Amino acid sequence: MLVITRAPLRVSFAGGGTDMEDFYRQDYGSVLSTTINKYVYITVKRHGRLFKENYRLNYAETELAQDLDSIKNKIARECLRHVPVDLPVYISTVGDVPSASGLGSSSSFAVALLKGLHAMRGQRVSPAQLVDESTYVEIDILRHPIGKQDQAAAAYGGLNCFRFYADGSVTIEPHSPVHVDRLFKHTLIFWTGITRDATVVLSEQKRNVASMMPYLKTMRDLAEELSRQVKNGMDIETFGKILDEGWRLKRKLASTITTDVIDSWYEKAKAAGALGGKLCGAGGGGFLLFVANPDRHEAIRRALSMLEVLDVTYEPNGAQILVSTSE
């Protein structure tokens, strides 16, 4: 039996950090994000019985393991523990962008793997269940200092305003794709070439939540305002200014969110005509996103000629099964 799944990566525009439990247990969180046409792909296959190992995992490393506890990839190990499948089993993964780059690849990996494991068991699984199970693995079991936005985006797909409440529930306000093409035509994304361990950035941010509550509430309100902008027709200049305000607030949340080099790239883009922007994800590296009028794109590309542009389009779908065969 063979199953191939994929889950999209995401770009969040505002509200990141308010999806963390330390914040939404005190005041609801809100994140506006969209999935993009970059993915994490997972293959789950019944492993050949002539091989000696029960588990074979191929990702950046290759693992051969006889028992679950010996698997070094923590997300894969705990997903397999949560949704066990018949042994032996082969799992491989590949992504469209480098890991640890701020587009939510770890959670997309968890969501795509869980969907694949359920399919191997002949089970259908809803996006809501995928969110619950992936957050259980990443947050409850592995204690990663992250929020719930990445899992929700990967499971549901599309342009959405996600809200996170004190009882742990998540609601979704999907937005019509009518304005999405216009938004993407005004968007530029640059690869900084810097990968980082988001845990380091988020651990500091988590420790600072109590003292940063006023900033986080404002960032949540900015996400709500951007959501209204998208719903009501979206003025690009206002959208860009809100992004800029959100980035300047986010920089205050932890000392590791930005660097002098990243700040200089950001200011160069602003000087070349960017209306606003942000680092995608936790910070510290990854992708720089900017919103600008199309007639300023070439000037911004020249100003950041040392960085590579990532061309993306809108992805309306969440995690999907691409291939499923029976024995």
Token pair 């920089």 is found at: 251
Residue 246 burial (CB count, 10 A): 27
207: pLDDT confidence band, cut at 50, 70 and 90? confident
pLDDT tens digits, one per residue of 64-73: 999 999 999 9
Q: What is the pLDDT of residue 309?
A: 96
Looking at residue 185, what is its pLDDT? 93
**Domain boundary assignment for the chain:** 2-176+315-325, 178-309
Gap between the Cα atoms of 48 and 221, Å rounded: 53
Q: 298: which 2 tokens?
A: 């070439």
DSSP string, 37-83: EEEEEEEEEEPPTTSS-SEEEESSSEEEESSGGG---HHHHHHHHHS
What pLDDT, on the 0 to 100 scale, is given for residue 97? 93
Q: Which CATH number fits domain 2-176+315-325: 3.40.1110.10, 3.30.230.10, 3.30.420.40, 3.40.50.300?
A: 3.30.230.10
Superfamily name and number for 178-309: GHMP kinase, C-terminal domain (3.30.70.890)
| pLDDT per residue as tens digits for the range 154-197 | 999 999 999 999 999 999 999 987 778 888 999 999 999 887 67
Query: In this structure, is the dihedral angle defined by the CA atoms of residues 310, 315, 318 and 324, taken in order, positive or negative?
Result: negative
Half-sphere exposure of 36 (CA within 13 A, CB side): 26
Cα dihedral across residues 312, 315, 320, 323: positive or negative: negative
